[in-house]
Structure 1
Amino acid sequence: MKVAFIVWRFPVLSEAFILNQITGLIDRGHEVYIYPVNGLPKNYTGKVHPIVEEYKLMDCTFFPPAVPENIVWRFFKGIGLLVRNIYLGSLKSLRFFQLGKYDKEVATLKTFYRISPLLEDGVYDIIHCQFGTLAPIALAYREAGIISGKLITTFRGIDISKYVEENGRDVYEQLFREGEFFLANCKFFGDRAINLGCDSDRIVVHGSGLDCRKFAFKPRYFPADGKVQIATTGRLVEKKGIEYAIRAVAKVAKEYPNIEYKIIGDGELKEHFEKLIAELNIGHIVKLLGWKQQKEIVEVLNNAHIFIAPSVTAADGNQDAPVNTLKEAMAMGLPVISTTHGGIPELVEDGVSGFLVPERDTDAIATKLSYLIQHPQLWETMGQAGRARVEEKYDMNKLNDELVAIYQQVLQPELPLPVLREELTHI
C-alpha cells in the first residue's frame, strides 16, 4: 500500500507514537510518505528521535517551502509558488478562497506553500491524518483533486477536546460525512467522537503503541542508600499537571527528605516551575532535566522507583489519552501515580498497577506517594501488573498488524474488521 501521513510538524520528539506507526508500515513492506503541513518543529535544533535516523525518514518526508514571517514577502512568495506550479495544477487551490466555504487552515496563504510537495504525486491508497485538526485540510485538498485516497483520521486528544470546545460540536460534521474511517487512541475519545456524530460502525479504538523491547522490565526494590528516585516525563504545559506533583513532592519531603524528583521535558511553564521550586526551597530535590532522547529517558526511568503522571483538564478543555510516557514507565516496571483523567483509567488500574487520584489534588498525590514509600513491598507486584497491561493493550507490533488490517478493510470493505480491543458506546 501507498500511505500518506499528514502531520502538523515533523520530526517531533514527543510524538514517538507516530514514528512507531510509520516504521511499522515500512517493516511490513508498505510505502510511507510524510507531509508536515507546517514544516519542521519550532526551534528545531537537529535533535531527532534515533528511529528517524535509523529508517532515514527525512528521505520520505516532503516539507513545504519555508513561510516568511513578513506578510508582504509571504504574499509575493506564495503567488510565485502558485504561478511556478501552474503546470502541476496549483490553480486548483484558488477555490479555497471562496468566502465562508473553508476554514482558516485551508483559506490561507500557507496553502500555496503546503500544496507544493503534493502536486508532484498526490495519489495514495490511504491518506492518514494523525490528528482530527488536520482533516479539514486533507478533505479540501482531496475535494480539489490535489490529493486522492481513502481518508482515515485518528483522534488523539486536543483534537477531540480543546478543538471541539473552541469550534463547536459540529466542527467535524463534514469529516464524519465524507471521511472513510476513524481511529481513536482510547475509548474515552472514541465515545466522544460518536457523541459528536461519528458513525459507530466507522470508528474503532486503536491505541498509541510502543516497542516494549526497548523498555526492559526491572523489578523495583527499596534502594540500599535509602534515596527514593521519583520521575515524570512530559511537556511542561498545564495539561500535564506537573505543578501538583512538584507541590506534592515538597510536602512529602518534609517527612522523607531523602527523595529526588526528576522531571524530563520542556515547555512554556519551565520558568514558572523554576520559580516554584525555588519558593518551595526544594531545588536540591526537584531537577528539571529538559528534553531527552529515548535512550536518556530509559536511563532515568531505569534508576527510578516511582513514576508520577498527574494529567489535568486544561483551562481550554485540552485532555489526555493514556499517556505514552506513562506506558513506558509501566513497561519498565515502575509503580505509578496518575489521575482519573481522560483515557488514563483505561491504562492504569487503581490499586493494581498504581494509584489514580483526582485531578489537581496535591494532597492526594502526596498521600499516595508517602504510601508507596512506606510500602516498597508493593513496587514489584504493581510493576509486574503494569508491564502486563502495556503488553496486552499497547504493544506496537500487535497494533501495527491491526493498523494494516484496518487499512485493508477500508480498501476492501468486504474484509472483516480486526477484532476490536474496546467496544465503543453512544452515551
Structure 2
Amino acid sequence: MNPAPKLAVIVTEFPKSTETFIYRDLVTFLEAGVELRLYHVAPYRAQQTLHGFARPLAARAVDLGFWQPAALLRALARRPRAVIGGIARMLWAYRAHPKIAAKSIALVPKALAIADDARTWGATHVHAEFAGHPATAAWLGHRAGGAPYSVSCRAHDLFRTQALLGDKLGEAQAVRTVSDFGRAFLQRTVPGMAARDIQVIHSSVDVARISPVETPPSTTPFHILYVGALEPKKGVGHLLDALVIAGNRLGDWRCTLIGHGPDADALRARAAALGLGDRVRFAGMQPFEAVAEAYATASVCVAPSVIGPNGRQEGIPNVMIEALAYQRPAITTAISGIPELIRDGDTGLLVPPGDAGALAAALLRVHADPAAALDMARRGRAHVANEFDLAVNARRQLALFFPETTPAAQ
C-alpha cells in the first residue's frame, strides 16, 4: 500500500472566516487520505472564529514567525545564486509597488523557513492558495530546494498587479484558476502564459450535503440576504440605494447583512441616513451554521459586486455558488467570471455593477413572480451540481498536485 501523499498548503491568513471555499477543499483532501500541513503567511488570527466544519485544520496549522535568520543562512549556503537571484527578481518586478516589495522582502526568511519545515516533514508537493504572497513564498522556497509547487489564482491576486506572476506561475508545476475569465486574463496579460496549460477548476460546494429549498421565495416578509465582507469591491452601498428605490413596492421586506469589514461603520451610518435602519440588520460575522440557516430562509440572495480600488474585484463570488446550492434566487453583477455562474434570466439575474436602479428592478422582479424565481434557482442549483461540485473538483485538484497518484481515485 502506497504511503499517503503529503501536501503543504500556504495561505495568507488563518483562520479567516470568509475563506470557506479554501477550507472545504482542504477538509476534502484530508477525507481523501492526504496528509496535510497548513502554513499561513500572516500571524495567527486569534480574533477570528474557525467554522465548525474546518476545525480539523487547526491541528495542522503551523505558525512560523518572520524572524528566521537560520533558514535564510541555510538557503544561501545551499543555493546562493538561486535565492539571491529570486530576491533580486522580486525587487525589480515590484519596483513600482513599494508596499508589496517591502512585504515581500519581509516574507523572505519566513518563506525559506516554510520550505525547510515542509521538507523536513516530508511534503511531496506545496500548494499556494492565491497568486500573491502565498505564491511568492512557494516560489522562493522552491528556488531554495523545496518541493514542486502549484498555485490557485482567484481574483484580486490576479487583477491588482501582474508583477512577478510570470516568474511565480512560470516555475510552478501546475496553475489553476477558478474561472475561464481568470485564465483568459492570465494568458492575455502575463508573459509566458499564452501557451501555458492553465486548469480552470471552479470553487466548489458540497452539493450532496445541501438540501435544496423547494418553496418559492417568501414575500411576507421578503427577506433579502447579503453575505460577505463589508468592503468597497462588494458594492453594498449600491444595495442600500436599491432598497430606497424599490421602497414600499417590496411590501413587507427586511434585509440582513452578514459579514464585517472596513466599511461596516460607514454602511451603518448610510443605512440610518437613508431611513433604512429599522429594516436593515447588520448581523456581523456569523458561524457557518448560522449562515446556512440564513440561506435557507432567504427570499433572494444579493452580491452587488463592483470593481474596487486598484482593480480589486470578484472572481466568482462563493456566496452566489452557495445561494444556488440552497436553491435560492440570486442577483449579482456582470463582472469578471460571474456570468460563468449566473446566466441572466436562466440561473439568476445579472445587473450592471454600480447600477442601483437595475438592482432595484431585479429585486422587484423576484418579488413579483416568486414561482419564476424558484425555477431560476432550480436551474442554478443544477448548474452548480454540474460544474461547482466539491467532490469532483477536489479530485481534479489532487490530480494536479499528485499526477502519478490521485488519492481521491484510489
With the length of structure 1 as denominator, give the TM-score of the two structures: 0.84
* Gap regions ≥5 residues in structure 2: 92-100
Which structure carries more helix by proportion? 2
Query: C-alpha separation between the residues in 1 aligned to 2:102 and 2:222?
Result: 48
Please state whether the residue corresponding to 2:373 is helix, strand or coil.
Answer: helix
**C-alpha deviations, 1:114-149, integer Å up to 9, x for none?**
54454244253221111111322221221122x22x
Asked if 1:184 corresponds to 2:177, the answer is: yes
Q: 1:309 aligns with which of 289, 303, 306?
A: 303
Please state whether the residue corresponding to 1:316 is helix, strand or coil.
Answer: helix
Contact 1:93 1:111 in 2 (8 A): no
Matches of residues 415-426 of structure 1 in structure 2 within 5 Å?
none
Change (3 A) 1:107 1:338: closer
Contact 1:64 1:114 in 2 (8 A): no
Please state whether the residue corresponding to 1:108 is helix, strand or coil.
Answer: helix
- The farther-off stretch of 114-123 and 281-290 is 114-123
Change (3 A) 1:93 1:106: farther
Query: C-alpha separation between the residues in 2 aligned to 1:117 and 1:390?
Result: 36
Asked if 1:294 corresponds to 2:288, the answer is: yes
Matches of residues 273-352 of structure 1 in structure 2 within 5 Å?
273-352=267-346
The amino acid that maps onto 1:215 is I
Alignment match, 2:215: 220
**C-alpha deviations, 1:251-272, integer Å up to 9, x for none?**
2123334100111110000011
Please state whether the residue corresponding to 2:361 is helix, strand or coil.
Answer: helix
Runs of 4+ in 1 over 4 A off after TM superposition: 85-99
Alignment match, 1:127: 126
**C-alpha deviations, 1:61-115, integer Å up to 9, x for none?**
11112x5xxxxxxxxxx3xx425x6897686698756774434367634433454
Query: C-alpha separation between the residues in 1 aligned to 2:347 and 2:89?
Result: 49
Alignment match, 1:6: 10
Contact 2:151 2:169 in 1 (8 A): no
Q: Percent identity?
A: 21
Matches of residues 44-55 of structure 1 in structure 2 within 5 Å?
44-45=46-47, 47-53=49-55, 55=56
Query: C-alpha separation between the residues in 1 aligned to 2:114 and 2:351?
Result: 47
Q: CA RMSD in A?
A: 2.5
Alignment match, 1:424: none
- The farther-off stretch of 1-10 and 109-118 is 109-118
Equivalent residues, number = 387
Alignment match, 2:225: 231
1:299 deviates by: 1.1
Query: C-alpha separation between the residues in 1 aligned to 2:288 and 2:260?
Result: 15
Q: 1:210 aligns with which of 194, 205, 212?
A: 205
Please state whether the residue corresponding to 1:230 is helix, strand or coil.
Answer: strand
Alignment match, 1:102: 90
Q: 2:159 aligns with which of 158, 161, 168?
A: 161
Query: C-alpha separation between the residues in 2 aligned to 1:93 and 1:296?
Result: 50
Change (3 A) 1:207 1:341: same
- The farther-off stretch of 194-203 and 233-242 is 194-203
With the length of structure 2 as denominator, give the TM-score of the two structures: 0.87
Query: C-alpha separation between the residues in 1 aligned to 2:76 and 2:60?
Result: 22
1:26 deviates by: 1.2
Asked if 1:263 corresponds to 2:257, the answer is: yes
